[in-house]
Amino acid sequence: MRTYRSVNLNVLWFLIALNVLIFIITLFRSEEVIGLLGLNTAQLRGHPWTIISSMFVHDPGFWTHILFNMVSLYFLGSFLIRAAGEKSFLAVFFLGGLAGNLLVILYAHLTGSTIIGYGASGGVLALGGALAIMVPKAPVIIFPIPVPMPLWVATLIFFFILIILPMLAGGVISWQAHLGGLLLGLIAGLILRKKRQIYYF
């Protein structure tokens, strides 16, 4: 069944605006913002909120990171809101970010290392993973590739771009956060698909 309706994207725009606002503040107060909101596995007991707040912090020296994340958040987020509703979107986004951070913490614990991480990539990849299961053949276009491709292929491209681009820029990549978010999204997609949601496009 296919039905058309207007969709309220206010919550999506709020999340994007919050990320941008924190990024602007970080340009001037990077150490303070990252220290207060970024995930530091060595200080997690004293800063437990950072397991969530770190999803809204981006590297001030790597502006393409937040640009790519926010563009992806808008397109994937608006797609999922239409497909499964606002509550499901919020659940997938935040649980994806949480799953990614938990994997970061687990990796740091197992290796005895300290990791400082931040970024919305885990939540964004969770959205892509969910949609790749729910509507895998939906055609999408990724700039600058001029031809449409199945959404599941686009999600894999997102995954590798979020790893490769920061590496080329000399950044340190939290592959654990990306992988955790993607896996959570795939599981969420299976759950939402079993509920036989009505898709609105």
Q: pLDDT tens string for the chain (201 positions)? A: 344 456 788 999 999 999 999 999 999 999 999 999 999 999 999 999 999 999 999 988 878 889 988 988 998 999 899 889 999 999 999 999 999 999 999 999 998 888 888 999 999 999 999 998 998 888 877 666 777 888 888 877 777 766 665 555 555 567 788 889 999 999 999 999 887 554 444
Q: Can you list the domains of the chain with their CATH numbers?
A: 10-194 (1.20.1540.10)
Q: What is the pTM of this model?
A: 0.85
Residues in the chain: 201
Number of H helices, E strands in the chain: 8, 4
> CB within 8 A of 100, min separation 6: which ones?
121, 122, 123, 125, 126, 174, 176, 177, 178, 179, 180, 181, 184
Rounded CA-CA distance 157/174 in Å is: 17
Phi/psi zone of residue 196: left (φ > 0), alpha (ψ -120 to 50 degrees), beta? left
